[in-house]
Amino acid sequence: MAFLEIKGLNKSYGQAKILEEIDLTVEKGEIMALIGPTGSGKTTLLRLIDLLEQPDEGSVVFDGVLVSALPEKERQKARRRMAMVFQKPVMFKASVRENVSYGLKIRGKSEEEKVRDALEAVGLLGYETRDANTLSGGEMQRIALARALILEPELLLLDEPTANLDPKSAASIDQIIRDFSGQKTAVIMATHNMQQCKRLANRVTVLKGGRVAGRGRPEDIFSQKMPLSSCTSFD
C-alpha cells in the first residue's frame, strides 16, 4: 500500500462540484506536483488531504489508516504528522521566533535549537526577534516553511509555495523543498510554475474541471507522449 492513497474522492460546495472521482497515490520520499487551471480543485484537494475538510465521498488513507473517517480527536493526531504551507501564509502578531516555534509549543516540545536550525535552513538566521508581520512576502513564505519544517512532518503540503515571489526568493524556496524531501517525507505541491514542476517533481498529476486529466513523470507530461492540449492554460 502507498504511503498516501486517495480513492474516489468527491467534494462539492452547494451545487458546485469541485472534485470528482480523484484517485491518487504518493510514496515516502517523493515530490508530487499538482498542476491545472485556476479553479481545478488543487487547493481543495490539499485541504482534504490535510484533514481540514471532509470529502463527500471517497477515502484518504495515510500510512495504512483511513484517516478521512476518523473522529475529530484522532484526525488531529494524524494531522500532527503533516504540515501545510498556504499560498498566502498568515503570520501571528509576534516575533519570527514565536511564529516558527508555535507548532512545537502546542506539542509540548523543546524549541530553541530546532528554531535555530529551521531558520538557518530557510536563510533567516538572525531574524529571531524581528516582527514577522514587517517582513517581505518572500521572507514570510520562508517563515511559513520554517514553521512547517520544524515539525519534521512525514507529509508536507504546499499550495503555490513561490507564487508572486521574486526569482531569488523563489529559487531559495525551491532549494529548501528539494533538500527537505527524502526517504522520510513525502511532498505534494500545487503549482502554476511549470519550470518549478520540471525541476522538483518526481511525478505530476494534472487536474482539470475537478478531475484527473493526466498523470506521469514530468518528462512524459511535458512531452508529446502525454499532450496536455487545453490543460496547458493554467492562469
pLDDT for 190 beyond 60? yes
How many domains is the chain built from?
Answer: 1
What is the reported pLDDT for 110?
Answer: 67
What is the reported pLDDT for 34?
Answer: 97
pLDDT for 13 beyond 80? yes
pLDDT band at 230 (very low <50, low <70, confident <90, very high): very low
pLDDT in tens, 32-52: 999 999 999 999 999 999 999
**65-66 vs 82-85, strand pairing mode:** unpaired
* Helical residues (DSSP H) of the chain, grouped into ranges: 42-49, 72-79, 96-106, 112-121, 137-149, 167-180, 194-200, 218-221
User: pTM for the full model?
Assistant: 0.90
Grid cell 524549541 in the structure block, residue: 111
pLDDT band at 87 (very low <50, low <70, confident <90, very high): confident
What is the reported pLDDT for 234?
Answer: 42
* Average pLDDT of the chain to the nearest whole number: 89
Can you tell me the mean pLDDT for 218-230?
Answer: 67
211: left (phi over 0), alpha (psi -120 to 50) or beta: beta
Residue numbers of the domain that contains 137: 4-232
What is the reported pLDDT for 183?
Answer: 65
pLDDT band at 208 (very low <50, low <70, confident <90, very high): very high
Q: Which residues pair with residue 59 across a beta bridge?
A: 7
Q: What is the four-CA torsion angle of 80, 82, 88, 89, rounded to 10 degrees?
A: 40
What is the reported pLDDT for 232?
Answer: 42
Would you list the DSSP string of 122-180? TT-TT-TTSBGGGS-HHHHHHHHHHHHHTT--SEEEEESTTTT--HHHHHHHHHHHHHH
Flag the least confident range among 24-38, 105-119, 121-135, 192-206: 105-119
CATH number of the domain encompassing residue 70:
3.40.50.300
What is the reported pLDDT for 41?
Answer: 96
Q: Which three cell numbers stand for residue 48?
A: 482534504
pLDDT for 194 beyond 80? yes
Q: In angstroms, rounded to a whole number, what is the distance separating the alpha carbons of residues 149 and 177? A: 10
Q: In angstroms, rounded to a whole number, what is the distance separating the alpha carbons of residues 60 and 49? A: 7
pLDDT in tens, 15-24: 999 999 999 9
pLDDT in tens, 115-151: 998 898 888 999 999 999 999 888 898 899 999 989 9
What is the reported pLDDT for 75?
Answer: 93
Number of Cα atoms under 13 Å in the Cβ half of residue 3: 18
